[in-house]
Structure 1
Amino acid sequence: MPVRLDDLAQGRLSGRPVGITSVCSAHPVVLRAALRFGRETGATVLIEATCNQVNHQGGYTGMTPADFVAMVEGLAAQEDCPMTQVLLGGDHLGPNPWRHLPAEQALAEAETMMQAYVAAGFRKVHLDASMGCRGEPAALDDHATAARAAHLSAVAEACAAQMDAPLPRYIIGTEVPPPGGADHILDTVPPTDPAAARETIAVHREVFEMAGLEQAFSRVLGVVVQPGVEFGNHNVIRYDSASAQSLCRVLDNEPALIFEAHSTDYQGTAPLAQLVCDGFPILKVGPELTFVLREALYALDLIASDLIPGYGERPLMQAMEALMLQAPDNWDRHYSGTPEEQHLLRHYSLSDRIRYYWTAPQAQAAVNRLTEALRGQHLPLPLIWQHLPGADHFAGRPLIPEDVLIWRVTRSLASYHAACFPDPKGA
């Protein structure tokens, strides 16, 4: 069933918690899977783009906010998922992509980006101005962060009013985990100090009121904090509800707010459901979805290698390896170790930095060669058991490779969906 943003805090207060999955990806197959799953379940499809990924200058995807919306609308039409069921969010909207510039220039770019997001139809806006720009500390204090967030909120408010569009709902606070996961093996991740969470809320409320933005602050939906979840290249820190209870109690005095948890990838249904019950009903997932997409592509690459004479020995994996070695900027600062260890991480790291390469022409050509080689093939059941466990239903009938990819992503989406409607007594 659809869940509105307004339902999240109310569900917590009523003892009937509900959540919503936030799909943080620009990969068309992932988005298609999310939209198809939304059509089949009736669930709200929350899709979020980040400031580095999509901005007025194109971001690393080459898409402006309007381009991104056009892609989502096109996929939604193909999947017969009404756009009234789709909610678009902008993540970390602030000066982060331009923090190498002086603050005045970086904030001017952030203003232009904010206008582009709101004008394109994004209605869930994460105000994140916590990072320092050239000559500033790496992380700003609460007052400086809140002042810049309020300024960007005023830009968003003015843009929406000029367009006579619905006013945005806001998320404040910044993400403690590094975007996309940590680079090292983690033992533990402490939850945000409750006093720090209270201070973030109080300072933002005060600064917004002083700026005459009380109405904007009334539409603040949630606060980004660290509940104690994270994933690195090699491992996952799963949610421990007991260690987060002091943080969760902060919400007792903030009935209109919820917490937003980042980096919930790879948690599994039970920890995710507990997060929803504890006041973290927005579950953001990104690398997990492209990780399982890569998993399915590599499984099909192995199947084609075993099944089709002349296809070659894992040519898709070989093409991706060559591509990543030719253009190492997206992984070499994050994957350390011996050459053998780096090779393993390039393909199988949980941070899934291979996701930056799927739009490259060489990658698309290799994926197309794979899908066309397998299209219409009858896959033997034992070969599926070997390389693609759980996909028995694809055996013995003409294969549509894209359906395998959608199926694999949907399995992860289904886990998140189940967690969004938990039994509070059983979670």
Structure 2
Amino acid sequence: MKKTEQLLESIGRITRETGIPRTIFAVCPNSVAVTKAAFRAARRNNAPIYFAATLNQIDVDGGYTGMTPADFVRMARLEAEAIHYTGTTVIAIDHGGPWLKDRQAVERWSPEEAMNGVKKSFEAAVLAGYDLIHVDPTVDIFVPKGEIISIHLVVARTVELIAHVERFRRERGLPPVSYEVGTEEVHGGLADEKTFDTFLAELKTALKEAGLEDVWPCFVVGKVGTDLHTATFDPGVARVLTDKVRPYGSFIKGHYTDGVSNPEQYPLCGMGAANVGPEFTMSEYDALAELELLESRELEKGTVAMASRMTGVLERLVRESGRWRKWLHEEEAGLEFDQLGAERRMWLVKTGCRYIWQRPEALAARYMLCDNLRRAGYDPEEMVLGRIERDMDKYFTAFNLVNLNDLL
């Protein structure tokens, strides 16, 4: 059985036996530190860990982490071995679809180029040994502003991408992979219930017509009240969507779970899994900012020769990258960075650091910061990882995952 389906089936069995529902916690591996912290938190909580990597983060071109799918799979294996983590690890593509990779949208790739690019990314993931692929062709940059992509086109492209993966892996005798479909993005997709129903029915028919009757996604992404700028999960909507997909054998997957105010409601509503990503970039930034305060104290005492200027370097690199513009609100369009309020600028820097962690200047400043603090008797890496782990722990607890490995 596919690893993800096996995990879901085991959780279902355990829920029936114990009466305690559970939701899988998925981490977006937007930095090396977040990946390390995820394994450490999973080991300490004695729970499975799921990585949902976007094509912006990890791809054939290295993404902003600098890692290809093969690199990330090797890294995950080595990190697990280094801390003797033996629980279940699921590695997945998140939001795999045309124009969801920023480069494709900025360079305005044609539909054929964008679809072919995604197919190459999927091939690399399958060859690397990924367990699941989120097929998400719900964005089309050529759809006129104010209009939403046709759900029939979304179905057609979903089937085209799944069919390509299935043909590619079967020709090479590679293990089967699991699938996730749909989106909750604010720019369209499956947010409307009628559209959601149409998508499921048409996808079922189209897969059968393509000779893929044995292939069906284990996750369908649902808009359950959360997005990048909101933090309240809607239990009522989640239950409605769960009731819609369970007859198909699927579970609802939540995205943008970052900082959600009521995470304990996820398992109670039957949510299969939930993704958390930018929150841990903010955790990493906050940890480095705290280290910089310690560094400044050591500088005053004369135990440090030169300041790293860590947060200043990060802010400048985020500004220069221009990627902060992607997250501007509609009313902020056209504004320059300095025209935004101080709180808004700080949010954009904190969430935007994931794009520039691997820049040489960021790495150099971080090396200097950590070296300064090590000389002063601190363990800076432990402090950074510990901060990220602390913020991950609440999800392991809220999703009822602590000690789940003992029951699997």
User: Offset of 1:265 from its aligned partner?
Assistant: 0.3
Greater mean deviation of Cα atoms: 73-82 or 199-208 = 73-82
Structure 2 equivalent of residue 392 of structure 1: none
Greater mean deviation of Cα atoms: 70-79 or 44-53 = 70-79
Greater mean deviation of Cα atoms: 303-312 or 200-209 = 303-312
* CA separation of 1:95 and 1:224: change in aligned 2, threshold 3 A: same
Structure 1 equivalent of residue 406 of structure 2: none
Does structure 2 retain, via aligned residues, the 8 Å contact 1:12–1:277?
no
The answer on 1:39 being equivalent to 2:43 is: yes
User: Offset of 1:38 from its aligned partner?
Assistant: 2.2
The answer on 1:239 being equivalent to 2:240 is: no
Structure 2 equivalent of residue 66 of structure 1: 70
Q: 1:225 aligns with which of 222, 226, 232?
A: 222
Structure 1 equivalent of residue 273 of structure 2: 282
* CA separation of 1:178 and 1:330: change in aligned 2, threshold 3 A: farther
* CA separation of 1:419 and 1:165: change in aligned 2, threshold 3 A: farther
Q: Deviations over 1:383-423 (max 9, x none)?
A: xxxxxxxxxxxxxxx42111111111111111110122189
The answer on 1:145 being equivalent to 2:142 is: no
* CA separation of 1:10 and 1:201: change in aligned 2, threshold 3 A: farther
Structure 2 equivalent of residue 93 of structure 1: 96
* CA separation of 1:237 and 1:135: change in aligned 2, threshold 3 A: closer
Distance 2:348 2:141 in 1: 30
User: Offset of 1:132 from its aligned partner?
Assistant: 1.8
Does structure 2 retain, via aligned residues, the 8 Å contact 1:143–1:204?
no
* CA separation of 1:93 and 1:231: change in aligned 2, threshold 3 A: closer
User: Offset of 1:313 from its aligned partner?
Assistant: 6.9
User: Offset of 1:317 from its aligned partner?
Assistant: 1.4
Amino acid corresponding to residue 288 of structure 2 in structure 1: L
Structure 2 equivalent of residue 113 of structure 1: 121
Q: Deviations over 1:262-290 (max 9, x none)?
A: 0000014xx21212221223110011111
User: Offset of 1:350 from its aligned partner?
Assistant: 8.7
Q: 2:322 aligns with which of 323, 326, 329?
A: 329
* CA separation of 1:351 and 1:297: change in aligned 2, threshold 3 A: closer
Structure 1 equivalent of residue 390 of structure 2: 411
User: Offset of 1:243 from its aligned partner?
Assistant: 5.3
The answer on 1:261 being equivalent to 2:258 is: no
SS in 2 for 1:215: coil
SS in 1 for 2:175: coil
* CA separation of 1:178 and 1:4: change in aligned 2, threshold 3 A: farther
Distance 1:257 1:350 in 2: 37
Unmatched segments (≥5 aa) in structure 2 = 403-408
Structure 1 equivalent of residue 365 of structure 2: 366
Q: Deviations over 1:122-156 (max 9, x none)?
A: 11111111222547787432221112111211222
Amino acid corresponding to residue 212 of structure 1 in structure 2: G
* CA separation of 1:130 and 1:85: change in aligned 2, threshold 3 A: same
Does structure 1 retain, via aligned residues, the 8 Å contact 2:97–2:118?
yes
Distance 1:263 1:61 in 2: 20
Structure 2 equivalent of residue 391 of structure 1: none
Distance 1:143 1:246 in 2: 23
Give the RMSD, CA atoms, in angstroms: 3.0
The answer on 1:75 being equivalent to 2:79 is: yes
Equivalences for 1:151-162 in 2 at 5 Å? 151-162=160-171
* CA separation of 1:72 and 1:139: change in aligned 2, threshold 3 A: farther
Distance 1:315 1:57 in 2: 30
* CA separation of 1:366 and 1:313: change in aligned 2, threshold 3 A: closer
Does structure 2 retain, via aligned residues, the 8 Å contact 1:224–1:261?
yes
Amino acid corresponding to residue 256 of structure 2 in structure 1: S
User: Offset of 1:303 from its aligned partner?
Assistant: 1.7
User: Offset of 1:79 from its aligned partner?
Assistant: 2.5
What TM-score comes out, normalization by structure 1 length?
Answer: 0.80
Distance 1:349 1:64 in 2: 26
Unmatched segments (≥5 aa) in structure 1 = 180-190, 378-397
Distance 2:307 2:68 in 1: 38
Q: How many residues align structurally? A: 381
Structure 1 equivalent of residue 309 of structure 2: 315
SS in 1 for 2:179: strand
Q: Deviations over 1:221-277 (max 9, x none)?
A: 011110011342xxx4312324554444324644x2110000000014xx2121222
SS in 1 for 2:322: helix
The answer on 1:339 being equivalent to 2:338 is: yes
Q: Deviations over 1:331-359 (max 9, x none)?
A: 14535467264554343349711221111
Q: Between the two structures, name the one with larger relative contact order (CA 8 Å, sep ≥ 6).
A: 2
Greater mean deviation of Cα atoms: 302-311 or 111-120 = 302-311
Structure 2 equivalent of residue 210 of structure 1: 209
Distance 2:371 2:237 in 1: 50
Does structure 2 retain, via aligned residues, the 8 Å contact 1:19–1:276?
yes
* CA separation of 1:161 and 1:253: change in aligned 2, threshold 3 A: closer
Distance 2:187 2:379 in 1: 37
Distance 2:201 2:243 in 1: 15
